[in-house]
């Protein structure tokens, strides 16, 4: 896929444009580093996922994963596009409610929910607390009793499915910290069923990891969930009202093809992912069809999922392509020993953390010279005082391409635009090295550009501190 195949990108007067806005001009007006989001793209992404699944399965609900990008205006936009919400903390629950989501539109995941967070979820009568362990189930039960309320829950199960890439991105095996292993599910269901006045057990949940690029991982995990549901129905009589398949819908990155020569094949394929929502929807929805279930579960259980609601928690697929990050080149140097040219930009892991934690790839272009041929290899680094603050794999495990290609003439003062940064970008910003956090703009559907989060000033660095 080429960049300009995506109509959200364009060119005007030699400058790269995002959703019709000239990025060179935005950098002049607002400064850098600067995040820019598109309302149109956010809404389009929600609609696309919803439509692909809804045409194949009657009851579908999308719960956008707030951890990806939870600036209030963005949550509002996603809500107006018809999505519900997935949260991972009391803070995200607070932000969700503040942005206008109702309790019954919210599901709550997390391995370490506090009593306060669980109480907040129960009081707001949220759609589902996705219970992560037997201990947590007992805790929810105790708190529901104390509050004299009924808690809506699902059980987060461990399907034992690996997505075959970066360990830190895998969440569906017992080696990860998440969920209830299959041998404990029945005990949890029985406990919930014995306490129906306090617990409304609604179904099951899994999430196997982010950027799941291989369809087989989704199918395998979903089959295990369905088989578990049938087995538990047989032994306890509990049939799920909803099945939640988590997030992980992958985003295709415009990774430079030359990198495929030296990067591990699975990592390159994961970043480039060509798996479409259409294929995932088709594959998973047919798994629940009566004819399909009859084959392996027998005719008496064929209709078990007939009225089941299918819940999804996509994050990346909704917000990634809706965001770009603009950064200015502040310095350059030659490493004659290696015959390398380096560019130092003003956005490092304090602005875009995923590069450091997950060696995530973001495609880069020279925004103010977009018409010049991007052919010269450069190494790109951020401003923080760590050797690891670079946009390549410093340990040479080849989790990232070594070089980025820009025009021959690229130099300090030029602008770098990073694409697909709308997920896990702004929520991970920090004040490391005394750096202020970048501002965030939203391009409204009518073309208006509004600030939705102000860039920090130096005063913000000491705002919560107390002099002695």
- Which residues inside 138-177 make contact with ligand PLP, applying CB under 6 A? 171
Determine the Cα–Cα distance for residues 382 and 346; give it in Å rounded to an integer: 6
Binding-residue pattern over the window 257 to 296 for ligand PLP, x denoting contact by CB under 6 A: ----------------------------------------
- With both helix axes pointing from N to C terminus, report the angle between 290-297 and 215-236 in degrees, rounded to the nearest 10: 60
Examine residue 321 and tell whether it contacts ligand PLP (CB under 6 A): no
Place of tokens 């202020």: 436
Q: In Å, what is the CA distance from 239 to each residue of 61, 171, 228, 251, 301?
A: 19, 25, 11, 33, 10
Examine residue 83 and tell whether it contacts ligand PLP (CB under 6 A): no
Examine residue 315 and tell whether it contacts ligand PLP (CB under 6 A): yes
Backbone angles phi, psi at 341, to 5 degrees: -105, 135
Examine residue 210 and tell whether it contacts ligand PLP (CB under 6 A): yes
List, as one string, the DSSP characters of 211-225. S---HHHHHHHHHHH
What length is written for the chain? Answer: 468
Written as six digits, the tokens of 419 are 């694409």
Region near ligand PLP per CB under 6 A, out of 144-152, 245-253, 369-377, 444-452: 245-253
How many CB atoms are closer than 10 A to CB 58?
12
Q: In Å, what is the CA distance from 420 to each residue of 41, 86, 316, 400?
A: 11, 21, 9, 16
Give 152 or 211: the residue with its C-beta nearer to ligand PLP: 211
Examine residue 127 and tell whether it contacts ligand PLP (CB under 6 A): no
Minimal distance, residue 398 CB to ligand PLP, in Å: 23
Examine residue 192 and tell whether it contacts ligand PLP (CB under 6 A): no
Written as six digits, the tokens of 121 are 């979820």
Q: In Å, what is the CA distance from 455 to each residue of 66, 67, 389, 426?
A: 21, 20, 21, 11
Give 278 or 411: the residue with its C-beta nearer to ligand PLP: 278
Region near ligand PLP per CB under 6 A, out of 24-32, 96-104, 313-321, 400-408: 313-321
* Listed residue (431, 425, 432, 375) closest to 404, CA to CA: 375
* Listed residue (38, 37, 53) closest to 276, CA to CA: 53
Give 198 or 267: the residue with its C-beta nearer to ligand PLP: 267
The helix/strand count (H/E) of the chain reads as: 13, 21
Written as six digits, the tokens of 52 are 């692909």
Give 110 or 439: the residue with its C-beta nearer to ligand PLP: 110
Examine residue 426 and tell whether it contacts ligand PLP (CB under 6 A): no
Minimal distance, residue 244 CB to ligand PLP, in Å: 9
Examine residue 310 and tell whether it contacts ligand PLP (CB under 6 A): no
Examine residue 323 and tell whether it contacts ligand PLP (CB under 6 A): no
Q: Tell me which of 207, 272, 374, 404 binds ligand PLP, using CB under 6 A.
A: 207
Examine residue 22 and tell whether it contacts ligand PLP (CB under 6 A): no
Examine residue 179 and tell whether it contacts ligand PLP (CB under 6 A): no
Binding-residue pattern over the window 59 to 78 for ligand PLP, x denoting contact by CB under 6 A: ------x-xx----------
Q: Tell me which of 90, 96, 172, 246 binds ligand PLP, using CB under 6 A.
A: 246
Q: Tell me which of 26, 230, 249, 352 binds ligand PLP, using CB under 6 A.
A: 249
Minimal distance, residue 181 CB to ligand PLP, in Å: 16
Examine residue 109 and tell whether it contacts ligand PLP (CB under 6 A): yes
- Determine if the peptide bond prior to 165 is cis (ω within 30°): no
Q: Tell me which of 90, 179, 203, 248 binds ligand PLP, using CB under 6 A.
A: 248
* Listed residue (240, 238, 133) closest to 184, CA to CA: 133
Examine residue 136 and tell whether it contacts ligand PLP (CB under 6 A): no
Kindly give the residue spans of alpha helices, DSSP state H, lying in 125-264: 134-147, 182-194, 215-236
Determine the Cα–Cα distance for residues 57 and 279; give it in Å rounded to an integer: 14
Give 163 or 341: the residue with its C-beta nearer to ligand PLP: 163
Number of residues that bind ligand PLP (CB under 6 A): 19
Give 22 or 109: the residue with its C-beta nearer to ligand PLP: 109
Q: Tell me which of 314, 323, 425, 439 binds ligand PLP, using CB under 6 A.
A: 314
Examine residue 199 and tell whether it contacts ligand PLP (CB under 6 A): no
Determine the Cα–Cα distance for residues 140 and 119; give it in Å rounded to an integer: 8
Determine the Cα–Cα distance for residues 320 and 441; give it in Å rounded to an integer: 15
Tell me which long-range contacts 457-466 makes (C-beta under 8 A, separation of at least 24): 460/436, 461/431, 461/434, 461/436
Give 67 or 374: the residue with its C-beta nearer to ligand PLP: 67
Determine the Cα–Cα distance for residues 433 and 430; give it in Å rounded to an integer: 9
Binding-residue pattern over the window 437 to 456 for ligand PLP, x denoting contact by CB under 6 A: --------------------
Give 314 or 401: the residue with its C-beta nearer to ligand PLP: 314
Backbone angles phi, psi at 140, to 5 degrees: -60, -40
* Interface residue list for ligand PLP (CB under 6 A): 65, 67-68, 86, 109, 171, 207, 210-211, 246-249, 313-317, 423
């Amino acid at each position: 896929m080429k960049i300009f195949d995506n109509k959200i990108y364009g060119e005007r007067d030699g400058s790269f444009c995002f959703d019709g806005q000239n990025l060179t001009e935005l950098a002049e007006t607002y400064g850098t580093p600067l995040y820019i989001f598109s309302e149109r793209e956010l809404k389009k992404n929600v609609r696309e996922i919803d439509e692909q699944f809804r045409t194949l399965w009657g009851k579908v609900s999308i719960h956008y994963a707030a951890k990806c990008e939870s600036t209030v205006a963005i949550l509002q936009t996603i809500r107006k596009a018809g999505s519900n919400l997935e949260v991972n903390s009391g803070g995200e629950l607070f932000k969700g409610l503040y942005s206008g989501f109702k309790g019954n539109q919210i599901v709550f995941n997390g391995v370490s929910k506090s009593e306060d967070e669980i109480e907040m979820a129960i009081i707001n009568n949220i759609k589902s607390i996705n219970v992560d362990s037997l201990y947590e189930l007992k805790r929810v039960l105790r708190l529901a009793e104390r509050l004299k309320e009924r808690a809506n829950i699902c059980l987060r199960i461990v399907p034992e499915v690996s997505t075959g890439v970066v360990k830190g991105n895998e969440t569906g095996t017992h080696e990860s910290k998440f969920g209830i292993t299959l041998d404990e599910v029945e005990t949890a269901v029985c406990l919930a069923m014995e306490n129906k006045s306090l617990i409304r057990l609604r179904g099951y949940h899994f999430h196997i990891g982010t950027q799941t690029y291989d369809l087989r991982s989704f199918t395998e995990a979903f089959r295990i969930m369905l088989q578990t549901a049938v087995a538990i129905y047989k032994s306890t009589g509990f049939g799920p009202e909803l099945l939640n398949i988590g997030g992980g819908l992958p985003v295709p990155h415009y990774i430079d093809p030359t990198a495929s020569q030296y990067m591990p094949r699975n990592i390159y394929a994961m970043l480039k992912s060509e798996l479409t929502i259409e294929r995932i929807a088709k594959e998973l929805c047919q798994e629940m069809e009566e004819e399909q279930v009859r084959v392996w579960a027998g005719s008496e259980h064929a209709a078990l999922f007939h009225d089941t609601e299918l819940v999804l928690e996509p994050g990346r697929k909704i917000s990634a392509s809706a965001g770009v990050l603009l950064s200015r080149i502040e310095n350059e140097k030659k490493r004659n020993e290696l015959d390398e040219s380096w560019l130092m930009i003003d956005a490092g892991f304090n602005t875009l953390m995923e590069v450091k934690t997950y060696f995530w790839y973001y495609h880069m272009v020279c925004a103010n010279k977009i018409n010049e041929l991007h052919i010269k290899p450069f190494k790109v680094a951020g401003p923080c005082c760590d050797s690891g603050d670079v946009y390549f794999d410093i340990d040479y495990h080849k989790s990232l391409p070594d070089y980025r290609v820009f025009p021959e003439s690229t130099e300090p003062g030029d602008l770098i635009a990073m694409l697909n940064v709308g997920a896990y970008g702004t929520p991970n910003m920090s004040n490391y090295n005394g750096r202020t956090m970048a501002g965030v703009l939203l391009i409204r559907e009518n073309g208006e550009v509004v600030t939705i989060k102000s860039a920090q000033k130096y005063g913000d660095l000491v705002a919560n501190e107390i002099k002695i």
